[in-house]
Each structure stands twice: as C-alpha cells, then as structure tokens.
Amino acid sequence: MERTLSIIKPDAVKKGVIGPILARFEEEGLRICAMKKIQMSKRVAEGFYAVHAERPFFGELTEFMSSGPCVVIALEGEGAILANRRIMGATNPAEAADGTLRKLYADSIGENAVHGSDAPETAATEIAYFFAGTELL
C-alpha cells in the first residue's frame, strides 16, 4: 500500500467539481485516508512549493494556490502515486489525455485543477505538511 497527497486546487473548488474529483478517486480504487478544506496563506503555499522557488512561475503559482480554498487529501492504494498521476493527466491541460482530471477541469498550465505527489519521498513530506500522523485513518 502506498500513500500520496492530492490537492483539489482553488480553480477546481471555484468550479464546484470537488464531488466528481473525489468520486473519480474512489472509482479508481484510491481510498481517502484524510481530507480537509483549507485556504493556504502565501507563506504556506511557498513552503509547499519550495522546490520550485527558483522557477520563473513561482510567484504566480503561490499567488494562485493561496487565492482561495482548496481541498487537501491523503490517498491510499496500490501504486497510489502513479495511479493518481495517471488520473490527473499532464501538467498542461492542452497536452492531457482525454478523460483525465486536468483535461476535464483545468484551463491552463498554471491553473490546472489538481496536484499529485511525484515520488514516495515527496509524498511522505507533502502528507506530513498538512496532516498529523494521527489524522491518517
């Protein structure tokens, strides 16, 4: 069993598609271990995306991620990290495969509906950024 962090980003929350995204995770066999709706401060978003601090889009990314509420979710399943990346689709929705969450719900490479951890180490760090161990059920 593997765990991964998903975030339903502010654009998808504004569109009212929390429900279909959660349903998709469950349909694909990913179990919700923990979940909460939060609004990140700019500093919290900067901490979460610290690995991208030198990228030209860092300011835009952290402004967007702190611009409204999002839903943070710890998902569990066999191969959960790759399964979630497959369900999400490519970073740029213009390149995302049909039926992926980003193809369905994202408008641009910046405002791209969902986040998903990309490796076991980052998944552990990202889950711990938002959830205490006792909250993972």
- Which residues carry out catalysis? 115
Contact between 118 and ligand GDP per CB under 6 A: yes
Number of residues binding to ligand GDP, judged by CB under 6 A: 9
Pick between residue 71 and residue 134 the one whose CB is nearest to ligand GDP: 71
Q: Give the range of 16-24, 35-43, 56-64, 76-84 binding ligand GDP by CB under 6 A.
A: 56-64
Answer yes or no: are the C-beta atoms of 9 and 112 closer than 8 Å.
yes
Contact between 115 and ligand GDP per CB under 6 A: yes
Report DSSP letters for the chain, one per residue: -EEEEEEE-HHHHHHT-HHHHHHHHHHTT-EEEEEEEE---HHHHHHHTGGGTTSTTHHHHHHHHTSS-EEEEEEEETTHHHHHHHHH--SSGGGSPTTSHHHHH--SSSS-SEEE--SHHHHHHHHHHH--GGG--
Contact between 91 and ligand GDP per CB under 6 A: yes
Pick between residue 29 and residue 59 the one whose CB is nearest to ligand GDP: 59
In the complex, what is the shortest distance from the CB of residue 118 to ligand GDP, in angstroms, rounded to a whole number? Answer: 5
Question: Which of 5, 61, 71, 74: binder of ligand GDP (CB under 6 A)?
Answer: 61
Answer yes or no: are the C-beta atoms of 114 and 88 closer than 8 Å.
yes
Given the rule CB under 6 A, which residues bind ligand GDP? 57, 60-61, 91, 109-110, 112, 115, 118
